Homo-oligomer: A and B are copies of this chain.
C-alpha cells in the first residue's frame, strides 16, 4: 500500500505566498525588483559583526554554543527593556521574550490567542506575513477603516472592537503602505482599545527608520498592560540573524514562552550573544542614522521618478520613514495583470491585493525603494509608468 499522508485542515488551507512566488522570478539578475522586503546589504555592519563574533567566541564560546533559556539571553533582554523604557513607561526585562525573528512572535501570538473563528482586527491593508501567521489558526479577520494615516479612529467605536482577541497594527511606516499613525490617532486608539478591554498588538520593525521627523511615542509606552509589542533587529542590524522580540504582560508572555519551548526551544544562543555584543555599547545609535540617510535619499529618488514618469491618475504617499511607497491606481486597473506585463519588461513590484485580510483591492501596489540603485530606479519606474499609461488608456471610457 502506498503511504497515505493526510494533511491537517490548516495545511490544506495553506497556499504559497504570492510575494514568495514573485520573489522567485525576481532572483534573475536582469530584473529590476521593487518587490523585495529586504533591507539594503550596504547597511549591514559587517566589521562590527566580525568584532562581536570574535569577542563571543573568545570570551564565552561554550555558553554561546550550548542550549540556553527559552526566554532569551538575559543581558540582551535587559538591554531591550532599558531601550524601550527610555521614552515612557518602565518596561521590566521579565516582560521581554527573544524570538527567532519577529515573524516567530506572530506565530506564537496566533498559537496563544487565536481559536478557530476568533475575531482578530487588522488594518486595511495589513502586513502579509502577519495575516499568514494568524491564518494558520483560522481566525475571523475584521478590517478596520484606514486611510493615509492608518486606522481612522473617529470612524470606530469601542463596540466595533468588542469581543476581538486583539487588534494588530503597525503604527510606524507600515508594511505595505509606508504610512505612519499620528500622535492624536495613537492616543485615540489606545483609549478605544482600553475602553473595549481589547489588547493591542503593536508590530514595530521600522520605528527606528524615520528620515528626519521626531519619533512618536509607541502604543506600548501609552499602556504597557494593554499592549503586546514586537520589535526586530532585522532592519537596524541584519535580518540573516533572525532576531526579534516580544514585550507583553507577564501572564501572556509566560504562555508565549511555553509555546516557544515547543516551537524551537530557544533562539540561537550564538546569535543572541553576538547581537548583544554588537549593540551593548551604544553602537546602534551611531549606526542607525546611516541607514536613515541612505533610505531617505533612495526614497526621494523614487518619489522624483514617480513624479516624472507616472500618470496623473496614480496617487502615492510620501513616506516619512521605512522602506515602502504605496501606489493607488485608477478603478479598473488590476495590479496583478500589470505585474505580469512588467515582468516581461524585467521590472517587478508587489500587487496590493494579498495585503487585504478581507475584500482585496486590486488597483494598488507596493514599491520598495531601498535596494535598487538610483539609475535602475529611474529606468524601472519609467517602464512601469509607460505600462500604466497604456493600461489606463485601454480602460473603457466612463459612461
Contact = CB atoms under 8 A, between A and B. Distances in A.
B113 A5 contact: yes
B240 A269 contact: yes
Interface in A210-259: 223, 225-226, 234, 238-242, 249, 251-252, 255, 258-259
Contacts of A241: 65, 268, 270
A195 interface: yes
28 contacts: A1-B196, A1-B197, A2-B197, A2-B225, A3-B193, A3-B194, A3-B223, A3-B225, A8-B111, A9-B115, A10-B115, A11-B258, A11-B259, A14-B255, A14-B259, A15-B258, A20-B261, A38-B66, A41-B65, A44-B66, A49-B57, A65-B238, A66-B239, A100-B267, A103-B262, A106-B262, A107-B262, A129-B265
A289 B242 CA distance: 32
A394 interface: no
A263 interface: yes
Interface string A106-148: 1100011111001000000000010011011100000000000
Contacts of A133: 262-263
Interface of A: 1-11, 14-17, 20, 37-39, 41, 44, 46, 49-50, 53-54, 57, 61-68, 70, 99-101, 103-104, 106-107, 111-115, 118, 129, 132-133, 135-137, 165, 193-199, 223, 225-226, 234, 238-242, 249, 251-252, 255, 258-259, 261-271
A138 to B, nearest CB: 11
Contact of A10 (B20, B101, B111): B111
Contacts of A136: 111, 259, 262
Contacts of A15: 258
B3 A226 contact: yes
A98 to B, nearest CB: 12
Given A8-B113, A68-B240, A53 B57 contact: yes
Contacts of A197: 1-4
Contacts of A264: 99-101, 103-104, 107, 242, 264
Contact of A44 (B14, B65, B193): B65
Closest 9 A-B residue pairs measured CB to CB? A65-B238, A240-B269, A3-B226, A41-B62, A65-B240, A1-B197, A46-B61, A11-B112, A100-B264
